Amino acid sequence: MTTRRDFLKGVAAAGTLSGLASKSEAQAAQAETQTRAAVSALPPSSYVEAMESDVPGYSEAEAEHYFVQHAGSDFMADVIKSLGIDYIASNPGSSHRGLQESLVNYGGNTKPEWLTCLHEESSVAMGHAYSKIAYKPMAMACHSTVGLQHAAMAIYNAYCDRAPLIVFGGNHLDAADRRPGAEWSHAAQDAAKLVRDFVKWDDTPHSLQHFMESTMRAYKIATTPPMGPVVIIVDGHLQEKEVEGNLPRIPALAPTVPPQGEIGALREVARLLVNAERPVILVDRVAHTPEGMTRLVELAEALQAPVVDRGGRMNFPNDHYLNQSGRRGQLIREADVILGMEMYDFWGAVNTMRDLVHRESSRRTRSDVKLISLGVNDLFIKANYQSFQRYQPVDLSIGGDAQASLPSLTEEVRRAMSAGRRSQIADREKGLREAYGNMQAQSRRRATYGWNSSPISTARLTMEVWQQIKEHDWSLVSRGLGGWPQRLWKMNKHYHHIGFSGGGGVGYGLPASVGAALANREHGRLTVSFQSDGDLNYAPGVLWTAAHHGIPLLSVMHNNRAYHQEVMHLQRIATRRQRGADGPAKIGNVFEDPFIDYATLAKSMGWWSTGPISDPADLAPALKRAIDVVSQGEPALVDVVCQPR
Amino acid sequence: MQSKNRQIPIAFAVLTLVAGISIGTSATQEDEEADRGKKDFVEVGCYQCHGYQGQGGPGGRIAPKPLPLEAFTRLVRRPANVMPAYSPKVLSDEQLKRIHKYLESIPEDPEVSTLPALSEE
Ligand SMILES: Cc1ncc(C[n+]2csc(CCOP(=O)(O)OP(=O)(O)O)c2C)c(N)n1
Ligand SMILES: [Mg+2]
């Protein structure tokens, strides 16, 4: 007769592929388990010895009492592995201990490899930025209620930034099975509710079949534009208990091909653009991959239209004369047709509202401008959080992924152009090249302002870093200091810039740079980050994660010893109210008395570090040494005391 | 450790002064005014948006060669756009004059062509 264990072994041997065994057989086995459990604490009698299990020296009843042979979470690990996820970042917690053990032991701690994180916010932000370099999502595991609470802000950033993330959260659903204490405070009726307003989808599976289906669905939803985070709540009992019944088959995943704009509408866009005298292409989160950059260059060149890049992704090379982002104000003012693609804030790009006592808005554009929007924003929106920005009326609004739509749009542009029009359009090139040259020269001139100052100017620091990295295959994974890299570095590869946090939740910068550096590691790239001090202070433990996992990263601090943004805000309010000047603006906003020693902090977490540096002449040698360290595969931090901005 | 840290701002101030104002051996009254102007510049928060050297940041460059005092004063009292307006209640004419002196005392920046780090290559 087949014992229950033999039966389960058979299931496991069939792996994740076959379904078998009748329900009644499984139920009978379950009833048997319940009876045995009552006697299983007894020493083996001759009776139970006779019923020896496949755990040598243990009767079947004892084995059932003490051991789990085929845990539910092993199957969960199979599902996660089937998705090709390389890393799972996590701060540990008992609500996901089953899954953690399965991935580490059963899964061999590879694909995904478990990353030790010191804060859930770090795990999520790492995954957020990782996806923008790796072009696929990372997974995270959060400890139930509390872990998800810590993760929430970083999930919000990823949601606003349209970045895919697969977040697993533990929970204990069945109250009757919860141990007293932590399993109650760390359980929720509806754990994902906390973040539901800013994830694309979530589910709380009740069976392994349900887990498999929902995880596959979640992955598809997360990676289909508009991309975003998803949450799967993984029940503790489901992870830990013995598999019962059939193991479902894990089907291969067919990713969803993103939608392209309707062809008739794209034809109309092409007509408007071809007939325009001063068309402007405004882009924000267009290029998911290098392909997006290539396609955008083709469109811009076909039209000889300047591109204004808001920088949500690396959309357009800055050494191309059509990248005229630095002339944004004038171009938008003079444009007769503006095509905005994947704009996070279209309204803000074509209107202004100044931070004055009275909030008044005014448009930046000509009154007869034609506005066109192409992107996925209208395909997915939620009500509560207002990250969708102000409503912008447009003349033509097309729902479709911009990158996917670009080839057809460019083809329509070419088709709509008569030979005569083509030559008229080609005539724009000279003027645009000249404007580009002037823009570049002006940026260089501006970079000299305060060149020798101490604290060090942001332009000087940017260019000192450039001198040291330009011969490497580098990747800038932070904000560009004061916009200087965008103006003065040669940025022409997709990984030369990865955009921003999305939601403006500060604390993104440091863990994001570690996550992006992890994705860059296998390509041997030199990952560079400008690290602001306030951002670093939220959760510096990720420094240790980088050291521990051997993630090479050059972190150059923009240390202005303040939440400087907030210093300026407080100054504005105080001055408006005609009281208190700088002294009060500092209260609550600066890191003085004592200063924070970031080099020592980083060193304590296993980093090579140096600083604080305040003399610009000391930068080059420090950066050289740091890059040597990073080239050996380790992280290095250079603390630089800088001008406020 | 901590006390060493605390000395750094003083070192900065001195460095910035050395870089920013060529202090003569016997400080003239002009130098003293500029020196006090530098303190005012920091205390009332101009540095926040214009940088410690007036080199520019969220607000534009205002040094070296600031606008003539009269125009300068007008634009600080009644800014053109988003700069907060400083009324005489929070910033006296004397302070503004001193700030102006400080900005005047800031030396010219080097030319692009003299800076290898800014070469186009
Ligand atoms: C989680 C979070 N808390 C507070 C803020 C408000 N905030 C916006 S910018 C900023 C200062 C950030 O300091 P730092 O990273 O040092 O940059 P700096 O402004 O000094 O250049 C703060 C606190 C925020 N955006 N997010
Ligand atoms: Mg700061």
Whether the pLDDT of residue A34 is over 60: the answer is no
For residue A618, tell me if it sits in a domain.
Answer: yes
Pick A322 or A48 by higher pLDDT: A322
- Nearest 5°: the CA angle A17, A19, A24 is 155
The whole-chain average pLDDT of chain A stands at 92
Bridge partner residues of A115 (DSSP): A89
Taking only the tens place, the pLDDT of each residue in A85-129 is 999 999 999 999 999 999 999 999 999 999 999 999 999 999 999
pLDDT, residue A323, reads 98
- Nearest 5°: the CA angle A379, A383, A384 is 140
Assign B120 a pLDDT band (cuts: 50, 70, 90). confident
Q: How many CA atoms lie within 13 A of A629 on its CB side?
A: 23
For residue A188, tell me if it sits in a domain.
Answer: yes
**Greatest CA separation found in chain B?**
51
Of A187, A205, A240, the one marking the end of a domain is A240
CB contact under 8 A, B58 and A445: no
For residue A323, tell me if it sits in a domain.
Answer: yes
Whether the pLDDT of residue A632 is over 60: the answer is yes
For residues A17 and A97, state if they share a domain: no
pLDDT, residue A47, reads 52
Report which residue type is found at B76.
V
Taking only the tens place, the pLDDT of each residue in A357-381 is 999 999 999 999 999 999 999 999 9
Atom of ligand 1 minimally distant from the CA of A533: 16
For residues A416 and A532, state if they share a domain: no
Cα distance between residue A237 and residue A73, in whole Å? 9
Q: What is the SS3 assignment for B111?
A: coil
CB contact under 8 A, A450 and B111: no
Closest CA to A474 of A496, A490, A492: A496
Q: How many CA atoms lie within 13 A of A436 on its CB side?
A: 19
Whether the pLDDT of residue A549 is over 50: the answer is yes
- ipTM score: 0.88
pLDDT, residue A208, reads 96
Say which residue the tokens 């020196």 belong to.
B35
Q: What is the CATH number of the domain that holds A148?
A: 3.40.50.970
* Displacement of CA B9 from its chain's centroid (Å): 16
For residue A624, tell me if it sits in a domain.
Answer: yes
Cα(A535) to ligand 2 centroid in Å equals: 7
Q: How far is A484 from chain B (nearest CA, A)?
A: 11
Whether the pLDDT of residue A168 is over 70: the answer is yes
Whether the pLDDT of residue A13 is over 60: the answer is no
For residues A294 and A378, state if they share a domain: yes
Q: Are A85 and A137 in contact (CB under 8 A)?
A: yes
Which residues form the pocket of ligand 1, taking CB atoms under 6 Å from any ligand atom? A 153, 504-507, 532-535, 560, 562-566
> What domains sit in chain B, N to C, each tagged with a CATH number?
7-107 (1.10.760)
A423-434: burial string, b at 16+ Cβ within 10 Å, e else? eebeebeeebee
For residues A546 and A620, state if they share a domain: yes
Q: Are B58 and A643 in contact (CB under 8 A)?
A: no
pLDDT, residue A585, reads 83
For residues A369 and A399, state if they share a domain: yes
Q: What is the dihedral of CA A387, A393, A394, A396, to 10 degrees?
A: 90
For residues A633 and A533, state if they share a domain: yes
Q: Are A373 and A394 in contact (CB under 8 A)?
A: yes
For residue A28, tell me if it sits in a domain.
Answer: yes
Q: Percent of chain A, pLDDT > 90?
A: 90
For residues A407 and A498, state if they share a domain: no
Bridge partner residues of A351 (DSSP): A363
In this prediction, residues A335-356 reach a mean pLDDT of 97
pLDDT, residue B27, reads 61
For residues A301 and A404, state if they share a domain: yes
> Do you know the residue count of chain A?
645
Cα distance between residue A624 and residue A13, in whole Å? 55
Which of A17-31, A179-193, A301-315, A479-493 shows the lowest per-residue confidence on average (mean pLDDT)?
A17-31
Say which residue the tokens 């003299």 belong to.
B114
Q: Are A273 and A413 in contact (CB under 8 A)?
A: yes
For residues A472 and A486, state if they share a domain: yes
Pick A448's closest partner by Cβ from B1, B49, B115. B115
Interacting residues of B70 by C-beta distance below 8 A, sequence separation 6+: none
Q: Percent of chain A, pLDDT > 70?
A: 92
For residues A556 and A637, state if they share a domain: yes
> Do you know the residue count of chain B?
121
Sheet holding A474-476, edge to edge: A474-476, A526-532, A553-558, A635-640, A608-613
Taking only the tens place, the pLDDT of each residue in A502-537 is 999 999 999 999 999 999 999 999 999 999 999 999
Q: Are A539 and A486 in contact (CB under 8 A)?
A: no
Suggest the residue from B6, B39, B53, B121 to mutate for an interface test with chain A (most A CBs closer than 10 A).
B53
For residues A480 and A390, state if they share a domain: no
Interacting residues of A246 by C-beta distance below 8 A, sequence separation 6+: A11, A19, A20, A21
For residues A85 and A105, state if they share a domain: yes
Pick B12's closest partner by Cβ from A447, A455, A645. A455
Nearest Cα residue in chain B from A568: B48
Bridge partner residues of A166 (DSSP): A139, A230
Assign A582 a pLDDT band (cuts: 50, 70, 90). low
Q: What is the CATH number of the domain that holds A317?
A: 3.40.50.1220
User: A386: domain range?
Assistant: 263-440
**What are the helix (H) ranges across A310-457?**
328-334, 346-350, 402-416, 419-426, 428-447
pLDDT, residue A561, reads 98
Cα distance between residue A577 and residue A569, in whole Å? 13
Assign B5 a pLDDT band (cuts: 50, 70, 90). very low
In this prediction, residues A336-342 reach a mean pLDDT of 98
**A contacts of B89 (beta carbons < 8 Å):** 578-579
Cα distance between residue A330 and residue A431, in whole Å? 14
For residue A581, tell me if it sits in a domain.
Answer: no
Interacting residues of A26 by C-beta distance below 8 A, sequence separation 6+: A244, A245
DSSP annotation of A243? P
Residue whose CA lies nearest to ligand 1 atom number 14: A534
Which of A269-283, A357-371, A463-477, B5-19 shows the lowest per-residue confidence on average (mean pLDDT)?
B5-19
Q: How far is B26 from chain A (nearest CA, A)?
A: 24
Taking only the tens place, the pLDDT of each residue in A39-65 is 344 454 555 455 778 899 999 999 999
Cα distance between residue A558 and residue A552, in whole Å? 19
Taking only the tens place, the pLDDT of each residue in B41-79 is 999 999 999 999 999 999 999 999 999 999 999 999 999
Cα distance between residue A502 and residue A198, in whole Å? 12
pLDDT, residue B2, reads 37
In this prediction, residues A56-82 reach a mean pLDDT of 96
Which of A8-17, A362-371, A582-591, B93-102 shows the lowest per-residue confidence on average (mean pLDDT)?
A8-17
pTM attached to this predicted model: 0.91
Whether the pLDDT of residue A583 is over 80: the answer is no
